[in-house]
Amino acid sequence: MGSQAQMRSQRRIKVQYLALLIGLLPAGYSSGAAFEYDQKLSIKSAYADYETLGNPSDGSFQIKYEGFAKWDFPEGAWPEWSLFLRPWLSYRSEQPLPFLAREADTSARVNGAFAELWEFVFTRHNLRGNPALALSLGRQQYSGEYGFWWDDSIESLKLGLADSRNRGFVALGSRQYLYNTDDNKVSPADKDIVYLLGEYHYLWSPNQWVGLKLVGQRDYSPANDVGDEGDFTGFTLGVQLEGERLQKGALNGDYHFELATIQGEFNHLNVPGFTDETMATSGWLAFTELGHSFETTPVISRLAVRLALTDSPETPFSGFFQNTIQSSRASRFSEYNIGLSGAIMNVSMTNLMLASLLSQHRLSQRSQLRFSFHDLRRRNTDIATSRTIGLDYPESDGNHIGNILEAQYFWAMFPYAFDDEHLTFDVLGTLSYFQGGDALQDGIEDYQVSLDLNLRY
């Protein structure tokens, strides 16, 4: 009975989405529309040595073709309606790619060849005669400079705001399907969750923004689903301050501050030691990145420090944590996502103390080197380090997880004009090294080498 009711509920949701989409379509949409199509071919490969995890050293790779199709109606600078599609054709190895290379990656549990419709978005612009407002419906990607708020693609209805001094959105969504040719089912940890996402930022001074962010979720999935650790209902609320190109004398600084709190409750916990329990969740996160750019120095272009600190939770479920549509990706002042602690680990904002030093070195107008050093620690030594770094190392009783040293080389080809279009090509090479601390057993050292090639037309 429960599964039948759930299927009826999913059908109602799909019918409601379709009815709203049809209702938004204007008469004669197919006529007078402007069409644009961009494409991208990427090859990502890596070799990692994780022998300390009991896994053999091995390589991994992925080849992916992405299309970016957009129709605007009517044709012109200010369309009233638009339709955006982002299909993928991909082939990837059985060995997983490193965290850094998994930008906008499928949630499907597949290897080999597959296709997926990552985004399909129908947008009504100039809502109620206001060019700053837009209403969009479909599977759309949510991302930002830091992924610990949102970094995924879900079916949703979004109201967006964008003008010279205000920007933000509010969205209501839920993951229904993966739109993947090999695996279309949502995992037990992701299904039956309704999300409320929102942010608002105000330009209070030149190049300086202040804002609020919100992530609410309600998990109504059945109790004790296999593969689902628990059902969380609650919210994360945060304040953000951000500025860049702040020049005063020799200073050319930038800053990013965030302070967030999470409040809610886990129900139907389904892990050893917490069987079918209910637990209150209350935690916090403080994060900052401070940088200085050197415009006249020929060797170094930017230096920055990055700091992150969460509460010290009593259990894995009682403090600040990240849900399945969030990540620890970072892309501030970078053409690529560089990861909060580099490419070798998908660090989660839970039970964490992070300190990083970052440097960017301009070699030419189209190439640069980046170096980073990261120090990782856990707040509560009774909670497994795998909750923070996502890797199951043999553990000890200390709090120092370890240090990461990383070097990256980036080169971009000068755009080539071809048939009234532009062809671009860029390369990113990354070398990562991890040395374990006293939270892990002695002698843990791992490394990873990765290469990313991207061709865009």
Average pLDDT over residues 241-246: 94
- pLDDT value at position 276? 73
Distance from C-alpha of 309 to C-alpha of 304, rounded to nearest angstrom: 17
The residue that leads in pLDDT, 71 or 364, is 71
Average pLDDT over residues 445-454: 90
* Most confident by average pLDDT, 142-151, 219-228, 418-427: 142-151
Distance from C-alpha of 47 to C-alpha of 211, rounded to nearest angstrom: 40
Confidence of residue 1 (pLDDT cuts 50, 70, 90): very low
Question: What residue ranges do the domains of the chain occupy?
Answer: 2-27+41-456
Distance from C-alpha of 200 to C-alpha of 149, rounded to nearest angstrom: 13
For residue 25, the 8-state DSSP code is: P
- pLDDT value at position 306? 96
343: Cα separation from own chain's centroid? 13
- pLDDT value at position 25? 45
Distance from C-alpha of 148 to C-alpha of 129, rounded to nearest angstrom: 34
Does the pLDDT at position 55 exceed 80? no
Give the sign of the dihedral formed by CA 145, CA 147, CA 148, CA 153: positive
Question: What tokens were used for 454?
Answer: 């991207």
Average pLDDT over residues 67-71: 96
Share of the chain above pLDDT 70, in %: 88
Confidence of residue 133 (pLDDT cuts 50, 70, 90): very high
Q: Where are the alpha helices (DSSP H) in 110-262?
A: none
Confidence of residue 335 (pLDDT cuts 50, 70, 90): low
Q: Which of 7-11, 49-53, 78-82 has the lowest mean pLDDT?
A: 7-11
Question: What tokens were used for 303?
Answer: 């230096």
Task: Please give the angle made by the CA atoms of 209, 213 and 216, to the nearest 5 degrees.
Answer: 175
Read off the pTM: 0.87
Q: What are phi and psi of 16, to 5 degrees?
A: -65, -45
Full 3-state SS string of 177-225: CCCECCCCCCCCCCCCEEEEEEEEEEEEECCEEEEEEEEEEEECCCCCC
Contact 73, 26 (CB under 8 A): yes
Average pLDDT over residues 311-318: 94
Does the pLDDT at position 419 exceed 50? yes
- pLDDT value at position 328? 84
For residue 350, the 8-state DSSP code is: S
- pLDDT value at position 18? 40
Using alpha carbons, select from 340, 356, 331 the residue that is nearest to residue 388: 340
Q: Could you check whether the bond before residue 74 is cis, i.e. omega within 30 degrees of 0? A: yes
At the topology level, CATH places domain 2-27+41-456 in: Porin (2.40.160)
The residue that leads in pLDDT, 77 or 415, is 415
- pLDDT value at position 365? 85
The residue that leads in pLDDT, 166 or 446, is 166
CB atoms within 10 A of CB 365: 8
Mean predicted lDDT score pLDDT of the chain: 86
Question: What tokens were used for 302?
Answer: 């930017």
- pLDDT value at position 98? 57
Does the pLDDT at position 233 exceed 50? yes
Distance from C-alpha of 51 to C-alpha of 384, rounded to nearest angstrom: 20
Please report, as a single letter, which amino acid is at residue 352.
L
Does the pLDDT at position 414 exceed 80? yes
- pLDDT value at position 364? 86
The three-class DSSP label of residue 185 is coil
- pLDDT value at position 99? 56
The three-class DSSP label of residue 161 is strand
User: Which residue is listed with tokens 């073709």?
Assistant: 65
Q: Which of 222-236, 314-328, 398-412 has the lowest mean pLDDT?
A: 222-236
- pLDDT value at position 59? 80
Does the pLDDT at position 29 exceed 60? no
Using alpha carbons, select from 305, 360, 357, 306 the residue that is nearest to residue 328: 306
For residue 368, the 8-state DSSP code is: E
Confidence of residue 31 (pLDDT cuts 50, 70, 90): low
Q: Which of 104-108, 199-203, 433-437 has the lowest mean pLDDT?
A: 104-108
Using alpha carbons, select from 106, 349, 139, 324 the residue that is nearest to residue 232: 324
Does the pLDDT at position 58 exceed 70? yes
DSSP string computed for 250-298: TEEEEEEEEEEEEEEEEES-EETTEET--EEEEEEEEEEEEEEE-SS-S
Please report, as a single letter, which amino acid is at residue 335.
E
Average pLDDT over residues 377-402: 92
Distance from C-alpha of 313 to C-alpha of 376, rounded to nearest angstrom: 17
pLDDT in tens, 245-264: 998 887 899 999 999 999 99
Contact 192, 218 (CB under 8 A): no
- pLDDT value at position 268? 84
Does the pLDDT at position 236 exceed 60? yes
Average pLDDT over residues 135-142: 97
- pLDDT value at position 17? 44
* Largest pairwise CA distance in the chain: 71
